[in-house]
Amino acid sequence: MRPETLLTSGSFAALVLMAVGVLAGCLGSDEGKNYAVPKSLCGVSLESALIDELLPSGNKVDVQEKNPGPSRKRCQVIVDGKAALEVSQEWWPEGDTVVDVAQGVPQVKSAVLTDDSDFLLTGTGAVQQARCPSSERPDHVLFTTAQVYADGVDDSEAMQKLITAYTRAVEGSAVCR
């Protein structure tokens, strides 16, 4: 078949329409993450892959630290203007447990206590007890929390990796020395 024949036939027009449809479908399917995933959460360095697994698609990311009181430090990751992920460090009186802390963490409402009793986890939240003595906070225990607020993000394995790495990083930081 000669090119002139293709141009005059309906098959060429159909081919062009099909190609345009395929391209349009590819462009609109998943916008992906058009932002750089943070490498730290308010001064706590982590592998960005641990954070990435729990963030939604979007175009812009912002990380904000909030300290609602002297015993609590929160770090919020915001994607396209909406809260997507939050981690915190919270000092609680000695004797309080992860179950006590979890009562104030909505994202762990259906969590199961682990065998070592210092860890609660769901696909959208976790609470873990940090192992660090603090001379600045006698008679207190440090807990870390993580909560996912992004729609469609629910991954227990990723949450476990994040809370474990975050807790270990906090234990090695100045807050635990």
Beta pairing partners, 125: 147
Can you give the pLDDT at residue 149?
94
* pLDDT for position 25: 35
Sign of the alpha-carbon torsion through 159, 46, 69, 136:
positive
Q: Residue 2: pLDDT above 80? A: no
In whole angstroms, give the CA distance from residue 156 to residue 159: 5
Q: What are phi and psi of 26, to 5 degrees?
A: -70, -40
pLDDT digits (tens, 9 = 90+) for 87-136: 999 999 999 988 888 888 877 766 666 556 678 888 999 999 999 876 77
Q: pLDDT for 19-59, tens place per residue?
A: 333 333 333 333 599 999 999 999 999 999 999 999 999 99
Query: What gap in Å lies between CA 53 and CA 79, rounded to an integer?
Result: 14
Q: How far apart are CA 115 and CA 127, in angstroms?
A: 14
d(CA 146, CA 122): 10
Distance CA 28, CA 111 (A): 36
Residue 95, phi-psi category: left (phi > 0), alpha (psi -120 to 50), beta (remainder): left
The torsion angles phi and psi of 16, rounded to 5 degrees, stand at -65, -45
* Reported pTM: 0.78
Q: Which residues pair with 91 in a beta bridge?
A: 142
Neighbours of 112 (CB within 10 A): 10
Q: What is the mean pLDDT of residues 2-28?
A: 38
Q: Is 134 left (phi over 0), alpha (psi -120 to 50) or beta?
A: beta
